[in-house]
Amino acid sequence: MAKVKIGDVVARISYNKDIFFKIIDIKEELRLAVLKGLNVRVIADAPIDDLVIPSPAEIRSYKRDYIKNSNECLERIFYRRELEKQKRFLRRVNDSGGNSSFDVPGVVLHVDGDEEYLNLCITTYKQLDIQAYGICLAERDQPKKMHKLLVEHNPDILVITGHDGLEKNRRDFNDIASYRNSKYFIEAVKAARRYEPSRDDLVIFAGACQSHYEGLLRAGANFASSPHRVFIHALDPVFIIEKVAYTPIDKIISAKDVIDSTITGIKGIGGIETRGKFREGLPRSPYE
């Protein structure tokens, strides 16, 4: 049995150490630890007796795989962007005599129940040249604050995320009570749709690990997790939103194209056809 404390990185023996977690609370009277995914958006309980502390080498290897997957996604994005830029340049030479243009990607409001993951996402938005407002807000508080945040920031794209997961010993995937936070995400999406009903004018991604996918789409999300109730990568919302933010407004993005831009893939992310949010401006001011 591992001697563990809050802040330790651990894995679950009964799950063959498939995912690494950080301990965020210990319920001594129940001999339970509350765990947060190291790179997936899930909160889980586990018996302390089921936990093992991975070796430093195992943790380094786990983090290295996470960084590798993230970097591969970023490389694909930058390669795609370069091809798109070249196409726009050739079109501009023909249409406007080569005057320099400027890019106006969609603006993002990212509401996240986890401050650590929020900061990681905001850093990645900056890498991707996307203007994003980040708000850390507990999942249960997101529905009642949603309208105020939308009025304040007036985004093109909204992310509603944090942590989720199936409650222990609950396996009725259709029952919203089986999920830790899906009910809050669903209510937050409904509040956003009362503010802006059009799925073209406000594009919404909602959900986290194992979230009630069907309920989120019915509430009005364009994209959601998790169709197969699997864990999703911490940065998957960013990679979904980048595709929307940089697809021209006269183009429709297929759900497959958005899913292909993620790390988790089709078992963790799904959605509907959605119009892009990217606009090209002309000419660029000489005073910028």
Per-residue pLDDT at 178 exceeds 90? yes
Say if residue 255 is in the same domain as residue 133: yes
> Which of 32-36, 164-168, 219-223 has the lowest average pLDDT?
164-168
Beta strands in the chain (DSSP E): 9-12, 20-27, 32-37, 43-47, 51-52, 102-104, 108-112, 132-136, 157-161, 203-206, 223-224, 252-253, 270-271, 274-275, 279-281
Q: Do residues 276 and 249 make contact, with C-beta atoms less than 8 angstroms apart?
A: yes
Query: What is the chain's mean pLDDT, rounded?
Result: 91
Per-residue pLDDT at 162 exceeds 90? yes
Say if residue 262 is in the same domain as residue 148: yes
Q: Do residues 116 and 234 make contact, with C-beta atoms less than 8 angstroms apart?
A: no
**Tens digit of pLDDT for each residue in 237-247?**
999 999 999 99
- Smallest CA-to-CA distance from 111 within 181, 212, 34 is with 181
Say if residue 46 is in the same domain as residue 187: no
Identify the domain containing residue 230 by its residue range: 101-281
Report the number of distinct structural domains present in the chain: 2
Q: Is the pTM of this model over 0.75?
A: yes
Say if residue 189 is in the same domain as residue 246: yes
| Distance (Å, whole) CA 182 – CA 164 | 7
Give the pLDDT confidence score for residue 248 in this predicted structure. Answer: 94
Give the pLDDT confidence score for residue 268 in this predicted structure. Answer: 95
Give the pLDDT confidence score for residue 95 in this predicted structure. Answer: 60
pLDDT-based confidence at residue 93 (cuts at 50, 70, 90): low
Say if residue 184 is in the same domain as residue 47: no
pLDDT-based confidence at residue 278 (cuts at 50, 70, 90): very high
Q: Do residues 99 and 111 make contact, with C-beta atoms less than 8 angstroms apart?
A: no
Say if residue 44 is in the same domain as residue 115: no
